[in-house]
Every structure is written in C-alpha cells, then in structure tokens.
Structure 1
C-alpha cells in the first residue's frame, strides 16, 4: 500500500509541476511576444466559435498569436500591401472581453477571414492598412 501511495504522490506532484510550468511559460511567452510592440486584442472566427488572440503591429505586418498558445511564432500574418479591412459591423454575440466589439471582414491575398476587434482598435487597423510604411515617403536620401 505504501508503494501505491508514493507512486500516486509522485504522479500528482509531476502533474502539478507540469501545470505550473505551463502557466509560467504562457506568462513568459506573452512578455516575449508583446515587448516593445503595440498589441491589439483580436478574435478570429474558426468554424462556429471565436479564438481570442493578440495581434502584434509592426511596420509591414500584423502578426496574430492565440492567447493560450505555447509557440512564439504567429499563427496568422497580415501583410500591409495585401490586406483589406471591410467596414465595421455591429455584433449580436460578444466574444470574450473585447470592449465595444465590431465584426470586420478581412482579406489578405486570397484568404478571407472574419475578425472581431474593439472599435478603437478597428480605427488603428484601418489607418495602419491605408498608410504607407514608416520611412517610405521620407525626404531623406
């Protein structure tokens, strides 16, 4: 009986340690993804449900990372020259914690996607897509 109890304690301890390591990695991952970059809370439609994520804005691309993912590579990338955002539409069902959510049709190349962002974030996405990259219109040679 003592061996079974010891084995159960070791297994339970390993599971708790794995859970804690996963939580710590998710926190470190968020820090690695977000440092020195502007982030937007954005949900993408996948089938009949919404997947919450963080979108990192860079001068030439927007990179989308799922909130609960473990990897450091983006799962979806929007290239400035190829992306087109549709008009904001009101939402009947709110996904998650997005404040003032609007539904937006997004086309990037040959890929169509529906996203949900907050109204202020939609304005930022729209102006990002319609402006030229930093330094492109610079008068410096």
Structure 2
C-alpha cells in the first residue's frame, strides 16, 4: 500500500508542477509580448478559409503584430505595416459564425498589399484599432518629435 500512495503523490505532484510551469510560461510570455504596448485578444483568418485562430494583436509604432494565443514563440506570426493596412467596415458575427471567447465580436475585412485576411474584434478593440490606424502621421516612416 505505501508504494501505491507514494506513486500517486508523485503523479499528482508532477501534474501540479507541470500546470504551474505552463501558467508561469503563459503569463511571462504575455508580459514580454506586450512590452508596454497595447495588447488585445482577437481572432484572425486568412482569406479563403473558414477557421478562426485566436491570438493577440499588439499595436506597435508602425506595425500591427499578431501573435498566436498558445505556444512559446515570442515573435509575431503576422506583421502588417500601418501605411499598407486597409480596414473595411466591421460586420457583426452572428449565429454559427460567432466565436465563444469573443462575445459580440465583429469581423473586419483587411488588406495588406496583396494579402487579404479578416480580424474578429470586440467593439472597443475595433475602435482602438481604427484609432491606431488613423492616428498615423501622413507619409511613410514619418517621425514626429
């Protein structure tokens, strides 16, 4: 009996340790990705697909960067320059198209040169994205002091 009890304790302790490492890694990754810049939850899907992928977008100085929600990568999966990014009018996601982790989200068709994709954002996050894009000074790589 004591050996079964010890084995159970080892398994439970290992599972708790693994869960703590996963939570700590997720927290530290998100803190590092944010780096003092606005970061928000959104979903993205390339043109021609039906599958939404949850992720985080970061509003940088000259680019919008999209990171996968899970994983350990500290680099953005997609990066769109502010000057090339075109946003269309948002369309509410309803019925089977709705995303459970983004209630009352809207689909925003986007274009970056030849690359077409869609972002799913909640109302305040869409407003922040639109404001971020429109706040850019005119011209390419213009620095305002």
**Which interval holds the TM-score relative to the shorter structure?**
0.7 to 0.9
5+ residue gaps, structure 2, are none
Q: For residues 3 and 97 of structure 1, what CA distance do their matches in structure 2 show?
A: 44
Alpha-carbon displacement from aligned partner over 1:24-80 (angstroms, at most 9, x marks no partner): 111111111124111122111264332211111111011111222211111111111
Q: For residues 81 and 14 of structure 2, what CA distance do their matches in structure 1 show?
A: 42
5+ residue gaps, structure 1, are none
Name the residue aligned to 2:83: 81
CA contact (8 A) 1:91 1:103 kept: yes
Q: Which structure has the highest strand share of the two?
A: 1
Name the residue aligned to 1:120: 124
Aligned residues: 139
Q: When the two structures are superposed, what TM-score results if normalisation uses the length of structure 2?
A: 0.75
| SS at structure 1 position matched to 2:25 | helix
Name the residue aligned to 2:57: 55
* Residue 66 of structure 1, aligned match among 59, 65, 68: 68
Q: When the two structures are superposed, what TM-score results if normalisation uses the length of structure 1?
A: 0.77
Deviation at 1:6, TM superposition (A): 7.7
